[in-house]
Amino acid sequence: MTGASGAGAAGLDALDFKGRRVLMRVDFNVPQDASGAISDDTRIRAALPTIREVLSKGARVVVLMSHLGRPKGVDEKLRLAPIAERLSKLLGKAVVALKDSTGASVEQAVAGAPSGSVLLLENVRFNAGEQKADPALSAAYAKLGDVFVNDAFGTSHRAECSVSEVAKLLPSVAGRLLQAEIDAFGRVLTNPRKPLVAILGGAKVSDKLLVIDNLLDRCDTLLVGGGMAYTFLKAMGQGIGKSLCEDERMDVVKAALAKAKARNVELLLPVDHVVADRFAADAQTKVVDAIPDGWMALDIGPKSAKLFAARIAKAQTIVWNGPMGVFEMPAFCEGTKAVGKAVASAKGYTVVGGGDSVAALEQLKLSAKVKHVSTGGGASLELLEGKALPGITALSPKR
């Protein structure tokens, strides 16, 4: 992608994989239940097309790298053997889980693997230098491959050994999953079909300030819901009761309102609200146009949902990041549901990023109706901020 992110990446077609050792960064940071069993294998399934394509192109061995969780050193509960077992079933091919990620035993396992083998290194975050971009660790990874493929969008905003640093040491390209993410956000941020409608939600406006600023340079309409909307409404002089508000961000929010006006961007905020007497699933609730003192808004109201849906329906390009309310609680999920349904039924090109937005789509069983559902929360947010991602910018097939 060029322009908004300042990044570009060659894909699998730019390299010859025949007879080569392919080192591949994937994102197998999957949710697990209390017993350690994988509760959602979506991320494992998402890596299958790239693994299969590289094997079909004659790779001698595919060496997969991933993290799982946030270990501080070796954590027996976060070993990747169960993931290798699940991947084997999905791939229809044995995947060998190694007990380490660097060193002589790993190098020997890669060298001795039969042609067409798939190996999974142990959790890369067991290594102290992984998140510190340690050059020695990056070099140790590079010994295991002739070429490098990054197919882990969810970690591509991190300058880590297995993501960006090893990419600088080997001929490196984007896998199909990463390429799809780059292309999707490119369609939103670089010469999008107009009108472009951006929908932002979530609790804190401070989490989205850079996104707001970047999108105001690009979108025709910005729809703001969630807790972050109430800092905007207070900045406009409206009473917000006990609703979430970041008073310390008031000047920045006022600047955003002024920028929207100067650039002729329609910035729409909730016109009615689902309010509660306290933050609880069983709180007393009501729908109001004006928020009473002592009450807090926890979702957009039905008029707002209808207004937002009407703008979404007219858009040629739509990007959504963040829920409209506390959607985890049934009393405050209707706004997010309405926006999700509107995005899913829109005729324009639709991109949804951010864990909560994606989770809402999954709950509604509407993910398949959205053109692109992003696999990376933090990474998608940084792209929307206009940042270049280290895991993408480091890629080059010409080493």
Residues known to be catalytic: 43, 204, 355, 378
Closest CA to 126 of 77, 67, 167, 166: 67
| Contacting residues for 151 by C-beta, under 8 A, at least 6 apart | 24, 25, 26, 27, 47, 50, 174, 175, 176, 177, 178
User: In whole angstroms, how far apart are CA 169 and each of 172, 238, 271, 386, 393?
Assistant: 8, 55, 54, 26, 13
The token pair at 339 is: 């926006």
In the beta sheet, which residues pair with residue 61? 21, 117
Closest CA to 65 of 10, 135, 8, 118: 118
Closest CA to 8 of 382, 385, 388: 388
| Contacting residues for 372 by C-beta, under 8 A, at least 6 apart | 180, 181, 184, 350, 351, 352
How many CA atoms, within 13 angstroms, populate the side-chain half-sphere of residue 339? 34
Class of residue 92 by CB neighbours under 10 A (exposed 0-12, middle 13-18, buried 19+): exposed
Class of residue 111 by CB neighbours under 10 A (exposed 0-12, middle 13-18, buried 19+): exposed
- Chain-centre distance for alpha carbon 325: 19
The token pair at 378 is: 């933090």
